[in-house]
Structure 1
Amino acid sequence: EYEDGDLSSWINRERFQGYLHVDGFTLYELGDTGKLVAIAVIDDKNSSVEHTRLKSIIQEVARDYRDHFHRDFQFGHMDGNDYINSLLMDDLTIPTIVVLNTSNQQYFLPDRHIESTEDMVQFINNILDGTAEAQGGDGLLQRIKRIIYDAKSTIVSVFKSSPLLGCFLFGLPLGVISIMCYGICTADTEGEVFEHEGAKKESGDRELTDEGSEEEQEEEKNGKYTELSDGELKQKDIMEKKKD
């Protein structure tokens, strides 16, 4: 047993130098150390004071405060923000400093500009004592956000690399779905028209039937009246003959 745990854990934590040039593969490997990764995101081709100053601040903290932070932090710089933006699903402007927790996908951004080594040390202490705000994570909402972000990134990259292929891949399914929806809506409308016409025809037949029934009833009544009239006339004739 060692102060930092078993031997394999100690080797994992100590197998990297205190300061690294970080890329995607290195960041993945740093996940096994269990450390937070403090990165200066800069443009190596940009020699302006702001870019070189942040890189120097990270290097000074890694060197001068090794005894304080080496157990919990790994320091380095990253060239460009493309990878870090895709990892954080955010749009970081460079130069900037970000601290990653590779175990739970959380990250920390300074709430003010880092102007000196003391500012960086204060930022790290805020992370250690829990006063710095953590962003990201691996919760359900973040996973849904990751799915949406990856889908959006894939679509954008396809259209950027080959617009015609993108139109074919995404336009064809949309066209088929649109035709299916149009067919379903049209079929429903035609069905309603047929039902309406059938109902009108049925009601018309009923009206004709009712009219025919009324005429038959009137004819029966007229026939009865005629029969009654003939009977009355015959009775009158008989009565007159008796009188004579």
Structure 2
Amino acid sequence: MQARRQDKHVCGGMIKDKHSLKGKLVGFYTPWCGYCKKLEPVWYEVGVELRSSGSPVRVGKMDATAYSGMASEFGVRGYPTIKLLKGDLAYNYKGPRTKDDIVEFANRVAGPAVRALPSKQMFEHMMKRHDVLFVYVGGESTLKEKYNDVASELIVYTYFFSASEEVLPESMSLPELPAVIVFKDGAYFTYDEYEDGSLSSWVNKERFQGYLQIDGFTLYELPLHLMWYFALFSFAFRLKALIQRVAKEYREHFNSDFQFGHMDGNDYINSLIMGEVTVPSVIILNTSNEQYFLPGEPIETMEQLVQFISSVLNGSAQAYGGDGIIQRIKRVAFDARSTIMSVFRSSPLLGCFLFGLPLGVISLMCYGICTAESDDGSDDIDALKREGLTDEEEEEEEERQRAAELEGPDDGENEEEDVGEKDPEVKKTD
């Protein structure tokens, strides 16, 4: 009982009305969701961490089955869904479901959209703490208004800061002010409205490092990916270093179209290509239509890698896969077969029980249905035959009766003659 009181005190307990959602980190769940049950201990740790650190954010949870109307109003489609309610806005969390990542999200979104960097020391501290740093430099301007709007929209992904020119390193030279700068990969890059398009799309693209580890949460947030699959031998590390060099040295050529990185393991790509890929492998994936590109030969030099990327960019490389209906059906069938095979490989007895028993039950049901239909059909035929024979007998009986009525007198005379012939004495007496 005491543990329950502590859980309610730390995590805010169950939320039952819309007003209680204000200013809280809310987890929408369903009692039957396995992922929601897995999140429960992490969710409690998030509440403890936020409370002990003095954060103003409080944690709560809402049963989306009991309060489906409110869940629908907040656009909840899957479970668990984590949202931070700040004013009239609801910020959706899309990162890994770990305590540190969720706490970082809550603290970032709960604070101001744009944070000030008042000194060089603060700037250097933030540079050490963050891999990617956006900074607005300058006074009031139209660019600052756009920057504030973008910060309010994309604060769920990264931090946004503002500073004066004196705070920046002396080695930096800005062509003009105001300016929006991103610091990453040991360098800095300035936003150019004429070359980079809208500020929102530029920030959304630059919020990733030039080379990063790709997981299921970041995979479909990126436009076009170059992925390296991890394997523990020396060639894999050489390939990783090669891709990192291309990402840095050819940034001006490929940055607008490609994101470089690696993904551990080959399970995802095996499902995508419906086969077994060797590791390490270089593969370019277009997540907008699930097309992928494979090099014609093993990549061993930077020239080969640059040539492969350029062939994809100019359209000369052969594309595989896609998101057509036939490809989707094939992928579902491949995933189902892979799942069944993995179960049988890990535990043959369990596989026989899981798949053999349902098949046996279905077979018995089908046999019973077919047999029942066959018996009913034969009974109907027999009934029709019996009815048919009865009608014939009735017709024959009626014909005999009519014939008897017509032939009745003749038969009487013949009978008398026969009697006279057989018994002459009777005839004499008469």
TM-score bin (small chain): 0.7 to 0.9
C-alpha distance in 2, partners of 1:67/1:160?
48
Matches within 5 A, 1:1-244: 2=193, 3-20=195-212, 22-25=213-216, 28-29=217-218, 31-34=220-223, 36-43=224-231, 45-47=232-234, 49=235, 51-156=236-341, 170-171=355-356, 173-226=358-411
Quick check: 124-133 or 163-172, which moved more? Answer: 163-172
Number of aligned residue pairs: 225
Match of 1:236 in 2: none
Q: TM-score, normalised by structure 2?
A: 0.45
C-alpha distance in 1, partners of 2:308/2:321?
18
Larger % of helix: which? 1
Can you list the C-alpha shifts for 1:83-107, whole angstroms capped at 9, x where unaligned?
A: 3323554432223210112233222
C-alpha distance in 2, partners of 1:148/1:205?
58
Gaps of 5+ in 2: 1-191, 416-430
**Superposition CA RMSD, Å:** 3.3
C-alpha distance in 2, partners of 1:221/1:11?
112
Match of 1:238 in 2: none
Can you list the C-alpha shifts for 1:10-68, whole angstroms capped at 9, x where unaligned?
A: 23322333223x2424xx4254353x22122241x223x4x344334323322332332
C-alpha distance in 1, partners of 2:388/2:205?
88
Q: In the superposition, relative to structure 1, how do residues 24 and 88 fare at CA in structure 2: closer, same or farther (>3 Å)?
A: farther
Q: In the superposition, relative to structure 1, how do residues 209 and 33 fare at CA in structure 2: closer, same or farther (>3 Å)?
A: closer
In structure 2, the residue corresponding to 1:128 is in which secondary structure?
Answer: helix
% identity of equivalent residues: 53
Q: In the superposition, relative to structure 1, how do residues 198 and 59 fare at CA in structure 2: closer, same or farther (>3 Å)?
A: same
In structure 2, the residue corresponding to 1:132 is in which secondary structure?
Answer: coil
Q: In the superposition, relative to structure 1, how do residues 55 and 178 fare at CA in structure 2: closer, same or farther (>3 Å)?
A: same
C-alpha distance in 1, partners of 2:378/2:274?
51
CA contact (8 A) 2:271 2:331 kept: no
Q: In the superposition, relative to structure 1, how do residues 8 and 219 fare at CA in structure 2: closer, same or farther (>3 Å)?
A: closer
C-alpha distance in 2, partners of 1:5/1:81?
35
Q: TM-score, normalised by structure 1?
A: 0.72
Larger % of strand: which? 2
Gaps of 5+ in 1: 231-244
Q: In the superposition, relative to structure 1, how do residues 214 and 11 fare at CA in structure 2: closer, same or farther (>3 Å)?
A: closer
CA contact (8 A) 1:24 1:83 kept: no
In structure 1, the residue corresponding to 2:196 is in which secondary structure?
Answer: coil
Quick check: 87-96 or 145-154, which moved more? Answer: 145-154
CA contact (8 A) 1:9 1:33 kept: no
Q: Which amino acid aligns with 1:32?
A: E
